Chains A and B, each alone.
Chain A
Amino acid sequence: MIRWKFTFDKDEEQEWLNEYARQGWAMTKFCVGVVTFAPCQPGEYVYQIDLLPGKGLWADDYEGYVIFMDEMGVEVVQRWGRWVYLRKRAEDGPFEVYTDVESQLALYRRIRALFLWALVIEICCSISGFSTLARFPEDVFARGLAGFYIVILAVFLRAVLQCTRKIRELECQ
């Protein structure tokens, strides 16, 4: 089964995957918003999403992470750079990747830093797009491109703000 999901909200995506798992559909692949599911026993797996420590899109010691998770009975289902989809069999006990405020804060700070980095790159790229629009304001292609840049900018900005809100909530605990 294939479904479409496009979000940069980790918690929302995680809950969405777990809802399918409860209904007997286990996520097996993720590629640019296209999510592939395979049948499983209802509630057989619990899914979690993690962002590994690292720089830019590159994770520090990914192999070490996979071996460590494997020892904990956790399977890395899909990886995109530092972004990983994890699952554990529900019968092996509860599954939450981060169980204390300190490590949860560190996770949301990593996610926010990644989106801030993406936002800065996006702004740099959009400058050429907007300068083209300034020179050819009537050009349909230039307008479309500028619109596309604005949408991407809004998406990244929203992700940064969502992380900031979660960080503030955790800091209050």
Chain B
Amino acid sequence: MENKNQPLTEALFYILLAVRKPIHGYGIIQEVEEMTGGRVSLGPGTLYGAINTLLERGWIVLYSAELGSRKKKEYVITAAGREAFAAEMARLRELARNGEKMEDGT
């Protein structure tokens, strides 16, 4: 099992971002493609594995799955997921802030 405190992979980062509102699997793929201008295109296996990882960690939950109907499963972020995302954003901000030093030359 991966370490929860490791930096997020790009796939996990964008999936967490996409599930800030309830969304189904195919919607996640489209949203991530849109956000990255087509650079990040998630394969179905990559998405399936990532969703299971996030469900196991309690970072996302099933929002709706009507049994017996053809409605697709939707997922949504949890409080723990938002916390993990905020921690990752803090790490990325620190990276960007420190990265500025290269340009400043200080």
Contacts and interface: CB of A to CB of B under 8 A. Distances in A.
A107 B81 CA distance: 25
Contact of A71 (B25, B41, B49): B25
B104 interface: no
Given A71-B25, A71-B26, A72-B26, A107 B11 contact: no
B82 interface: no
A65 B48 contact: yes
Contacts of A94: 41
B64 interface: no
A35 to B, nearest CB: 22
A71 B43 contact: no
A28 interface: no
Given A68-B48, A71-B72, A103-B11, A97 B43 contact: yes
Given A98-B45, A103-B46, A106-B49, A68 B25 contact: yes
A138 interface: no
A103 B49 contact: yes
- Which bracket fits the contact residues of B? 20 to 34
B25 A103 contact: no
A102 B24 contact: no
Interface of B: 9-11, 24-26, 29, 41-50, 52, 72-73
Interface of A: 50, 53, 65, 67-69, 71-74, 94-100, 102-103, 106-107
Given A67-B73, A95-B43, A99-B11, 19 more contacts: A50-B45, A53-B49, A68-B48, A69-B48, A71-B24, A71-B26, A74-B44, A96-B43, A98-B46, A99-B41, A100-B10, A100-B11, A100-B42, A100-B46, A102-B9, A102-B11, A103-B43, A103-B45, A103-B50
25 contacts: A50-B45, A67-B73, A68-B44, A69-B44, A69-B48, A72-B25, A72-B47, A73-B26, A95-B43, A96-B43, A97-B44, A97-B45, A98-B43, A98-B46, A99-B11, A99-B43, A99-B46, A100-B11, A100-B42, A103-B11, A103-B46, A103-B49, A103-B50, A106-B49, A107-B45
